C-alpha cells in the first residue's frame, strides 16, 4: 500500500538536497582549515544533528574525534531552557578543542545550557557549528562560529529536523505546512 507522502506536507522547500550538500562541503573545508594542527573533538547533541554530523565529518579531510550526548527538556519546562543530560559524553574533554555540532539553534536555550556544562569541564576551546540558525527566535544571547544557513521563522523539517519524530529522513530542508503542526489554525 502506498503510504501518505511526506513531501505533500511541505509548504515549500527551503534548501534542496544539492544546496545542503554543497553548503556542508564548504563548512567542512572551512572548519578543517581553521583548526590548523589542532585536532577538533566533535560533540553532537542527539538526535537531530545526526545527518549533519555524518556529512560534516566526512567533509573534514583531517584527523578528528567524536563523542555524542543527549539532553531532554524537563516536561512542562521547555521554555526555561533547563535540560537534563540523558546520555553523557564517554570521554573527558579536558584540554581538547571541542566543536559542538548542532542541527539548529532556535531559542538557544538548549545550547546555552550545554555550553555551561562543557565550560565546567576545562576544554582548551569550544566552538559551535550549526547547520541552521533562526536568530529571530533567540531567547538568550548565543552565536555559532559556523552557520550553514540562516532561516526565517518557518517550521523547518528534514535533514535530521523533526516534527513529532517525523520527517528526519528527508534529504532536503522543507517548511512544514501550518495545518500539519497547528491543525486548529485558520
Interacting residues toward ligand PRP by CB under 6 A: 45-48, 102-111, 162
Q: In the complex, what is the shortest distance from the CB of residue 62 to ligand PRP, in angstroms, rounded to a whole number?
A: 25
Which cell is 72 given? Answer: 531532554
Closest approach of ligand PRP to the CB of residue 127, in Å: 16
When the beta carbons of 99 and 105 are compared against ligand PRP, the nearer one is 105
Determine how β-strand 97-105 pairs with β-strand 83-87: unpaired
**Residue nearer to ligand PRP on the CB measure, 33 or 77:** 77
Q: Is the dihedral of CA 160, 137, 77, 130 positive or negative?
A: positive
Annotated catalytic residue 37: no
Per-residue b or e along 153-176, where b marks 16 or more CB atoms closer than 10 Å to that residue's CB? eeebbbbbbeeeeebbebebbbbb
Q: Which of 9, 103, 106, 133 is catalytic?
A: 106
The per-residue b/e assignment along 81-112, b for 16 or more CB within 10 angstroms, e otherwise, is: bebeeeeebeeebeebbbbbbbbbbbbbbbbb
Catalytic residues: 106
Amino acid at each position: 500500500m502506498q503510504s501518505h507522502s511526506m513531501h505533500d506536507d511541505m509548504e515549500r522547500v527551503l534548501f534542496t538536497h544539492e544546496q545542503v550538500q554543497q553548503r556542508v562541503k564548504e563548512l567542512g573545508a572551512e572548519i578543517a582549515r581553521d583548526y590548523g594542527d589542532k585536532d577538533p573533538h566533535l560533540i553532537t547533541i542527539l538526535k537531530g544533528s545526526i545527518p549533519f554530523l555524518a556529512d560534516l565529518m566526512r567533509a573534514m579531510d583531517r584527523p578528528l574525534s567524536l563523542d555524542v550526548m543527549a539532553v531532554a527538556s524537563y516536561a512542562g519546562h521547555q521554555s526555561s531552557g533547563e535540560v537534563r543530560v540523558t546520555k553523557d559524553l564517554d570521554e573527558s574533554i579536558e584540554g581538547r578543542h571541542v566543536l559542538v555540532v548542532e542541527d539548529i539553534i532556535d531559542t538557544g536555550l538548549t545550547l546555552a545550557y550545554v555550553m555551561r556544562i562543557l565550560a565546567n569541564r576545562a576544554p582548551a576551546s569550544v566552538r559551535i557549528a550549526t547547520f541552521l540558525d533562526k536568530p529571530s527566535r533567540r531567547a538568550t544571547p548565543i552565536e555559532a562560529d559556523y552557520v550553514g544557513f540562516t532561516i526565517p521563522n518557518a517550521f523547518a523539517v528534514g535533514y535530521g529536523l523533526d516534527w513529532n519524530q517525523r520527517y528526519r529522513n528527508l534529504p532536503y530542508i522543507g517548511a512544514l505546512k501550518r495545518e500539519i503542526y497547528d491543525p486548529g489554525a485558520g
